[in-house]
Chains A and B, each alone.
Chain A
Amino acid sequence: MTEDEFAAYQSLAQDSDDHRWAFGTGFTDPLEGIDASVPDGVDAAALATYCLMLGDDALIYSHRLQQWMTRLPELEEETAIANIALDLLGQARMLLARAGLAEGAGRQEDRLAFFREENEFRNVRLVEALDADFAELTGRLLVFSAWRLALFGQLAGSRDPVLAAIAAKGVNELSYHRDYAAQWVIRLGDGTRLSHDKMQAALSTIWPLVDELFRADGVVAALPEVAAHPQAVRAEVDAVLDTVLARATLNRPDRAPMAAVAGKTGRDGVHTEAFGYILAELQSLARAHPDGTW
């Protein structure tokens, strides 16, 4: 380390007292200082639910990606997946905080993440399964990030300025996530016989969960000009997936969508069996020490 670099690191120490980099210390509201009033004419309850949906997608998927840590084939993939999980966690924190503020009942991000029951989570079922292998990880990430990028592209023009700002920021991050996933799907699909077959099998596993991403629901209908209509992004997502699959010499799987349960899916709080295990790991520490601080 040169003297200049050393001086740079040493200058950091000047600022320290008891807080620096300690796990779990003093998290502040990620929307601190931001004007979070709900615009006139916007249904605040629906806005809160909508932000919860988008926040839960990112929270649960980030958790699943974090579970890959130390299990990926190379260090470069570790850093990539860790960074993607971190970006999504950041989006989740802001969206849950936005949901809590729009709801107006005093629930903050931690309360929403750690103290809700399974049926109160609004994420799509795509993000729940534990990936069986690296092909499934990259396939699911491609579908998720292509869909979320298209959605956030529209939401950047939302009438809710807070949601619009979160989405505009997310677009930059999600573009990197989607390109990373697309490049791996191509490398595996257009790779060896074995990698191609595994990639095709992974897509086949994931595909029944794709249709749900484009299901309309009452919450979106209650938020004209605020929410993005799920059907409105389908053409963009299809075009991206078709381009990638063609380059990867893979076929779009012909699989029936996973059935709804009495008409309900993830967005209604009806989840797959895997979900209980996610919550058990995600919430157990916070629930064992409610309101604990370090």
Chain B
Amino acid sequence: MVTAAVQAAREIAAAVPDPELPMVTLADLGILRDVAAEGEQLVVTITPTYSGCPALREIAHDLRYRLTQAGFTDVIVRTELAPAWTSDWITPEGRSKLRAAGIAPPSPARRRQVPPGPVPLTLTGTRREPVHCPRCGSGDTTQTAAFSATACKALFRCETCREPFEYVKDI
């Protein structure tokens, strides 16, 4: 397969919306790991955000469907587990799209010690850095729930404009 075709396929794959956060694309979220040709086959590699993420199969289906529609006849979608997805892979563009849709983008994820050691306990709601309200920009916000309607989000409330909002968890 020629390079131009792979490049075209990469652009199509990158533009596929996430089924649960359709305002951002697979590339924005950093779950699209690779698009490459292996002989006549097009191999697309993706990584799940969370182990139980039900969207992964939908994503694979959407990729195959869109690439097939664009004329790629032999498409394989592979899952890659390592390295594990981190919210740090969400692109700057993805972050501004999330914010525009009223969802606060994640703060930098906690990095573990190298070599891996025990993960420190978090026993209070106090955060290392404030989460800013996506509506009014205030940093005076409170977490109301550590989990939300999808595996990747938590619930917050802005103490300035009093609006509730979702936050993509830093992981």
Contact = CB atoms under 8 A, between A and B. Distances in A.
Verify that A and B bind, or say they do not: yes
A40 interface: no
B84 A176 contact: no
B118 A162 contact: no
Contacts of B45: 33
Nearest to A82: B147
A87 B50 CA distance: 7
Contacts of B150: 83
Nearest to B65: A15
Contacts of A236: 118
Chain A's interface size range is 35 or more
B82 A90 contact: no
Interface string A171-207: 1110110111011001000000000000000000000
A179 B83 contact: no
A87 B51 contact: yes
Interface string B95-125: 0000011000000001010011111011111
A273 B130 CA distance: 48
B169 interface: yes
Nearest to A85: B52
Interface in B52-84: 52-54, 57-58, 60-62, 65-66, 76-84
Max count, chain B CB within 10 A of own CB: residue among A83, A91, A156, A186:
A83
Nearest to B87: A172
A8 B23 contact: yes
A244 B110 CA distance: 21
B148 A79 contact: yes
Chain B contact residues: helix, strand, loop or mixed: loop
A179 B51 contact: no
A89 to B, nearest CB: 5
Contacts of A153: 116-119
Contact of A15 (B51, B66, B83, B149): B66
A56 B166 CA distance: 33
B52 A89 contact: yes
B13 interface: no
B103 to A, nearest CB: 11
B155 to A, nearest CB: 7
Interface residues on B, range: 35 or more
A176 B153 CA distance: 12
Contacts of B91: none
B67 to A, nearest CB: 11
A5 B101 contact: yes
Contacts of B112: 171
Contact of B145 (A5, A80, A175, A247): A80
A30 B48 CA distance: 10
Given A33-B77, A79-B147, A170-B51, A165 B123 contact: no
B146 interface: yes
Nearest to B56: A30
Given A80-B145, A149-B119, A31 B83 contact: no
A94 interface: yes
B7 interface: no
For the complex of A and B, list the 3 residue pairs with the smallest distance between their C-beta atoms, beginning with the closest.
A90-B52, A90-B51, A33-B78
Given A15-B16, A87-B52, A94-B51, 12 more contacts: A11-B17, A15-B61, A76-B155, A86-B50, A153-B119, A168-B83, A171-B112, A173-B51, A176-B147, A176-B169, A179-B123, A244-B121
17 contacts: A4-B23, A5-B23, A8-B101, A19-B61, A26-B57, A32-B79, A34-B80, A83-B151, A87-B52, A90-B52, A90-B53, A153-B116, A173-B50, A175-B119, A179-B123, A180-B147, A239-B118
Interface of B: 16-17, 19, 22-23, 45, 48, 50-54, 57-58, 60-62, 65-66, 76-86, 100-101, 110, 112, 115-119, 121-125, 144-151, 155, 169, 171
